[in-house]
Structure 1
Amino acid sequence: MRRIIIATHGELAKTLVETVELIIGQGHNIDYFCMTKSKSGETGKKELEELIFKENEKELVVFTDVFGGSVNNICSEILLGQPEDKKFHLVSGVNLPMILTTALSGPSNSMKEVLNESIQEAHNGIKYINDLFKGVVE
């Protein structure tokens, strides 16, 4: 079974999970972690480890908000400490299309395929709308 964890600064992760559930409903095995001002790095790492190891799923995907940020760095430390047979995937730059694509993927798809598609969907969803309207409005 696949499980998704969204880990971000502030309450973004919680809000993303609530938004995903609004769009596709519950039951997609998605958890979240919020790094707030009141948490030290050590407390955050302990909470993330508990969340990551709470189930023994076949595959785990952790999406973080910012590459090189404290949340991503903590998750990277945890990832590096895992045996190679643990299917732990870490992806930074989380956004809604990325989560939806991953959550709705079929269990027969390889996780690498799913994540590549999810990252592509994240890229495809970024548009500068002014440029799209230029030909129509001018």
Structure 2
Amino acid sequence: MNKIVLASHGDLAQGMRQTAEMIIGTSENIYALSAFRDEDEAIGVQMERLLEKIGYKDVYLLTDIFGGSVNNDLLTIQQAHPEVTLIAGMNLPLVISVATQFQQIDEDMLGHLIEESQQGMINCKQLLKQQIQIGGDDL
């Protein structure tokens, strides 16, 4: 089964996990780590400890923002353990999609899942304007 580790600044990762579990139910394959809180140790140390516990196979590390300190710290883990996959820019559709895949995710499927999650970002103001201009009632 795929294992997902959400890693973020502050409490975003915990909130993402809680929200995903509201939708798909409690999941023992989603983990959440926080960085840069007073009581936390370095995110890299937290991640290494967790990976030692859960293993490295079929693990997807999802971070909040590309180029951010969390993502940059985890790039060293990606380099040391090429069997894990690091993805920056997590969002709820991506978390749910990866969490609900019961088969191994190859590069093509992962690309598709990322693309689908990106398509979920919609400017609703513009969408409503378009509907009003064409006189449509349905979205």
Measured against the shorter chain, the TM-score band is 0.7 to 0.9
CA distance in 2 between partners of 1:135 and 1:68 (Å): 35
CA distance in 2 between partners of 1:133 and 1:60 (Å): 39
Pick from 115, 126, 137 the counterpart of residue 132 of structure 2. 137
Root-mean-square deviation (Å)? 1.9
Corresponding letter in the other structure for 2:58: E
Gap runs ≥5 in structure 2: 134-139
Corresponding letter in the other structure for 1:4: I
- Are the aligned partners of 1:11 and 1:36 in contact in 2 as well (CA < 8 Å)? no
Q: Larger radius of gyration, structure 1 or 2?
A: 2
Structure 1 residue 57, shift from structure 2 partner: 5.0
Structure 1 residue 127, shift from structure 2 partner: 0.7
CA distance in 1 between partners of 2:35 and 2:106 (Å): 26
Deviations along 1:20-71, one digit per CA (max 9) or x if unpaired, are: 110000135000101133267x732211211122122531100001111111
Pick from 119, 130, 135 the counterpart of residue 114 of structure 2. 119
> Which piece of structure 1 moves more, 57-66 or 88-97?
57-66
Q: Who is 1:106 aligned against?
A: 102
Q: Who is 2:71 aligned against?
A: 72
Q: How many residues align?
A: 133
What fraction of aligned residue pairs are identical, expressed as a percent? 31
Q: Who is 2:53 aligned against?
A: 54
Gap runs ≥5 in structure 1: none
Q: Given the alignment of the two structures, is residue 90 of structure 1 paired with residue 89 of structure 2, yes or no?
A: no
> Which piece of structure 1 moves more, 92-101 or 115-124?
115-124
- Are the aligned partners of 2:2 and 2:98 in contact in 1 as well (CA < 8 Å)? no
* Cα distance change, pair 39–69 in 1 and its aligned pair in 2 (3 A): farther
Aligned structure 1 segments of 4 or more residues deviating by more than 6 angstroms: none
Corresponding letter in the other structure for 1:46: V
